Structures are given as structure tokens and as C-alpha cells.
Chains A and B, each alone.
Chain A
């Protein structure tokens, strides 16, 4: 914590190259300097955007002249895949929407109908998607961030007090991080994401097998008055969501509905406890 944070360290933070001993110092610096945190988020978005932009070049079949060693004729063709999977496209659309477009309302619906067209062809009318924007946004954020190996979270659970304080401050409302150890899920950490009109928080949990759940918390439900539990399925991702005053919660995971419901109930129960 002693040495001042340098510009080089901020870049190392963006790229996952920061020395572990300096994480606390950089996190503390970013908590105090929101404009800097935003700048670094933009840089991370550039990294994700560039990878999405040039992903197709990796998946193209090689021209025959390149695909073999000079004199040998090894059977390398079999290893080539010219069939881009729909999933990278979903990730591309989601990442770009999340990070570059800054959260315009219609965007998520666009990204989703694209993904649906590529996948299950079950895209509903645009209006229906717009009404379901909370689970849609949560599911996309889930799909984008849970496969991350190098940057699964921005602030780890080892700094839970700092994490909760930081997210609460940026949301402008107190946030609680439910403890789901009894259900087999440990808090891995959290991150801040752009929402429709302001920041939203994403908490990530992980089980012993490495599967991930995310709890998406928005404070943008100004005009909503629903409170019931709802379930939505966005592609592979199941989402339980509910609205509580200004808070919208969405729990996303690649679990079956019953298993996800059990965790959602635990989350709900803990959030309802005063002071808990």
C-alpha cells in the first residue's frame, strides 16, 4: 500500500499482469478515483472488443498454401474448423453492447434476438423482450463474464468488505452480498457494469466443481412495482429475478430450474433480513 500506484501498474491491472502484492494498492486507488476506474474499464472493454472483432480470423479455414509444411503433406485439414460457433457471436454482441455502447435500452434486445436467431429461433416480439430487460441483461452479463479465466471478477471475495463498500458507493445504495456457502456456492467477487441509466453490480459465486452463478443487482427500478419471483430462460442461462423497491435482482446460472430456485430462495431470504 505504500508505494504510489503507477500508470504502468494500472495497465498491468487491465491486462491481468499485475503483481499479486500490488492488487490491494491498485484496488484502493481505484476506489478513491472513480474516473480512473472508468478509464480502466474502457481499456478492458477495448481488449474484449478487439478479441471479439478479430475472432472470425481465428476461425477461418487456412488457405491451402499456408496449411501445410513445405515438403510434407500431413493431414492438417482435419484440425481446421471453418464453422464459427454461435456462442462467440453471442459473446461478441454482448461484450460490445456491455462495454462500448454504454447501455442504450434497445441494445440488449437486439443482442438477444441476434443470439436467438443463431440458436433456438425463439425470439419473441421486441416488446416482450423489452419488458424482460432485467433478466435479459443479467443473462448476457452472465454469459460474458463467467467464462473469464483471467479476470473473473474485478474485486475478489478476499476483500469482501471493500467489495461491498465499493459497489454500494457506486450504486448509490447499500448492497449486501448474500452468503451461499450452505448451498455450496462461495462468493468469488464482483464487478461494476454499465446499466441502462447508471451502474449495476454483478456478484459472482462459484461451486466446488468450478460452475458459476451470478447475482445481478440494479437500482434502476424506479417505476416498477412488481415483487414476485419470476423465471426466464435466455439461451442456456436460467434466470430468477425479482424486484424489490428500487432494486432489481437477477440470479443467473446454467442450472436446472429447481436447483436455481433453491439458491434464489436463499438469496431472497438473506436480503429480506433487516441488517443481515
Chain B
């Protein structure tokens, strides 16, 4: 049991990184991580020893995230003004900002798949299991998300990161 607890603690930095990338703001991300970890402690006994704990926790996080979205549709997309530890060089900071801004402009379901693949390096099968969607859907969301991000990065100047009110 102690080994499992340590394993869960070891997963937390990755959960925070993913939540930060998914939600864009540190405060929202840590709320989601907090809930995910609490749920993880509750259900730790039900974690299957032979499975990847990180993928299991991502699954819990995904379900909590979806529940929250249902309860409270994202009427506004806010962005952190301060990027974490961005390079001092203004050009580098602009590129980082553009990438972050472009990421926020992806539909949430595409962003989620892209981050699990690109940032967390899960296999496509693991992503399908975590999100409970068919593998074909993983691939189509990945393909659309990447292409959209590329066009945003290469194409027209990005819209300024103002709040989008529906």
C-alpha cells in the first residue's frame, strides 16, 4: 500500500502539467488536480496493479473535467497573463505566447487528445482508454487538432487573447 501511495505522489507533477496545459490557468489546474488526487486516494484500492497508474489518473481527471464542463459550460476562455518562467528574450516569449494562445483556440476535445499524445506521450490506445472513445476518434481529433494548430501558428496573426463571450 505504501508503494502505491508513493507511486500516486510521483504522478502529481505530471497531472499538474497536463491540467495546466488543458485549462490554461494555474488556479483552475490546481483545483482539478486537487479533486483528481482526492478521488485517486479514495479509489486507490481499486487501481489494477498491472495497469499504468498515470493513465488511470488521467482517466479520473478527464471524468472530473467533463463533469465540470457539464455543470458549468465554459462561457469565457481566460488566459493566464503570466507564462511560467518564460525566457527573457522577447522573441522567444512571443513564440511561446503564440503557441499557448493557439492551443487555447483549439476545440477542447482536440486539445485534450493532442496534449495526451504530444505532452504526455501516451500511446493512441491509452488515449482511447483514458477518454473512453474509439481509436478512430482519437486519430481524427489528433489530425484535426494538429492541423488547426499549425495553421494558427503559420497563418494569419492570431486574435488577441481576449475573453470570448458566447
Contacts and interface: CB of A to CB of B under 8 A. Distances in A.
Contact of B13 (A50, A51, A62, A110): A62
Contacts of B17: 54-55, 57-58
Interface stretch (A96-104, A163-171, A213-221, A263-271): A96-104
B21 interface: yes
Contact of B5 (A52, A72, A84): A72
Given A43-B146, A54-B119, A100 B9 contact: no
Given A50-B103, A50-B119, A110-B89, A68 B9 contact: yes
B84 A57 contact: yes
Interface string A88-113: 01001100110011000011001101
B42 to A, nearest CB: 9
Given A7-B143, A11-B146, A57-B84, A67 B9 contact: yes
A261 to B, nearest CB: 33
Contacts of B146: 11, 43, 46
B123 interface: yes
Given A7-B139, A57-B84, A50 B91 contact: no
A15 interface: yes
A21 interface: no
A164 B149 CA distance: 31
Contacts of A11: 139, 142-143, 146
A56 B153 contact: no
A84 B83 CA distance: 15
Interface string A38-70: 010011001101111111111110110111111
A57 B9 contact: no
B33 interface: yes
A110 B92 contact: yes
Given A11-B146, A62-B16, A101-B95, A17 B119 contact: no
A143 to B, nearest CB: 15
A51 B92 contact: no
B53 interface: no
B5 A53 contact: no
Contact of B34 (A47, A66, A70): A66
B56 interface: no
Contact of B8 (A8, A69, A110, A114): A69
A15 B118 contact: yes
B1 to A, nearest CB: 10
Interface string B117-151: 11101011000000000000001001100110110
Given A54-B20, A100-B98, A110-B91, 5 more contacts: A8-B139, A51-B119, A65-B34, A68-B9, A114-B89
The 5 closest A-B pairs by CB, nearest first: A56-B84, A57-B17, A56-B85, A47-B118, A69-B5
13 contacts: A7-B139, A11-B143, A11-B146, A42-B153, A52-B96, A53-B83, A53-B96, A57-B29, A66-B33, A74-B6, A74-B9, A110-B89, A114-B92
Interface of B: 5-6, 8-9, 12-14, 16-17, 20-21, 29-30, 33-34, 37, 41, 83-85, 87-89, 91-92, 95-96, 98-100, 103, 114-115, 117-119, 121, 123-124, 139, 142-143, 146-147, 149-150, 153-154
